[in-house]
Chains A and B, each alone.
Chain A
Amino acid sequence: MSDLRSAKILAVDDIRSIISDDARSGQLDLRGRIEIADENNQALATVRFIEAFVVALPADCP
């Protein structure tokens, strides 16, 4: 279980690295996900891009 927790932490770091690069070119696409699998390619968990952030939007944002 601690390995899965570590993998989720790494996934969050991966997402933030990717988004920070995209943001510099004006893109903020939070629709992606990272799938965590074991060595047999069995899916263990999914981390959505939006879960890597605390998102605050202006009150008048549609």
Chain B
Amino acid sequence: MIHHHLMKLRARDDISPAEEAAIRNAVVRTRRLSADETLVKAFDEVDVCSILVSGLAARVKDMRDGQRQISELHTPGDFADLHSFTLKYLEHDIVALTACEFAIVPHAAMRAITDQHRHLTRVYWFATNLDGAVHREWVVSLGRRDAAGRMAHLFCELHIRLGLVGLVRDDAYSLPLTQAELAQCLGLSDVHVNRTLMQLRSEGLVEFRSGQLSIRDLDALRDVAEFDASYLYLGRRPR
């Protein structure tokens, strides 16, 4: 069930059999959500963390006028709300964008991990730091990249993140986002997303059809995005 999560952790560090067992034993149940259901509501007290097993989820905030901003996308293997362990409530919602399955880890189990597995604790500390790095890069996108650059950057980022957990084939991956949800990620309007997708397609960079994203020219797409994968901290280093 949590093989994507383990793949994600092992991409950057060694996870021992004992640590793997601790993670597996920490999962007490699964929770299935339909698309648009809320996993975590902002400001609700939380006492569990959730590993995304399948589907696509997002961190979101809604404005008074109903406009939504997605501040992060969660893909299989992500610990979607690991930060809730120290924060105790979140200032944002986490919603399922598609049908999702989550593996539920009580905060008490996380506390046991921190008590008994110091290296694994540092691995999860790294994971929350990585979240911060991804957020910082999204700030750069929203603040300084144009529409094509923002979109290209997101596609390049997902190409790497999904690739780490074995969900990319021939530079193509499943991306079950509507154009409206893509707009919510990129701070653009729906029509602007549509126009930008057409632009990237006409330039021979991507094809996005029926929830499948195919990258036709990865180097050129990275160039449009000014993509530098350093912020994803891909190197394997002991922590």
Contact = CB atoms under 8 A, between A and B. Distances in A.
The binding surface of chain A is classed by DSSP as helix
Interface residues of B, number: 8
Interface string A9-32: 011011011100100110000000
A25 B191 CA distance: 19
Nearest to B183: A17
A34 interface: yes
B177 to A, nearest CB: 18
A18 B146 contact: no
Contact of B192 (A14, A24, A25): A14
Interface residues of A, number: 11
Contacts of B188: 17, 21
Nearest to A9: B65
Contacts, number: 25
Contacts of A18: 189, 191-192, 195
Nearest to B194: A14
Contacts of B146: 21, 24-25
Nearest to A13: B189
A29 B96 CA distance: 38
B191 A14 contact: yes
A11 B192 CA distance: 10
B153 to A, nearest CB: 14
A53 to B, nearest CB: 15
A38 B188 CA distance: 23
Given A13-B189, A14-B192, A24-B146, 10 more contacts: A10-B189, A11-B191, A14-B190, A17-B147, A17-B191, A18-B189, A18-B195, A21-B146, A21-B188, A25-B146
25 contacts: A10-B189, A10-B190, A11-B191, A13-B189, A14-B189, A14-B190, A14-B191, A14-B192, A16-B189, A17-B147, A17-B188, A17-B189, A17-B191, A17-B192, A18-B189, A18-B191, A18-B192, A18-B195, A21-B146, A21-B147, A21-B188, A21-B192, A24-B146, A25-B146, A34-B191
Interface of A: 10-11, 13-14, 16-18, 21, 24-25, 34
Q: Which 7 A-B pairs have the closest CB atoms?
A: A14-B191, A17-B189, A14-B189, A17-B192, A21-B147, A18-B192, A13-B189
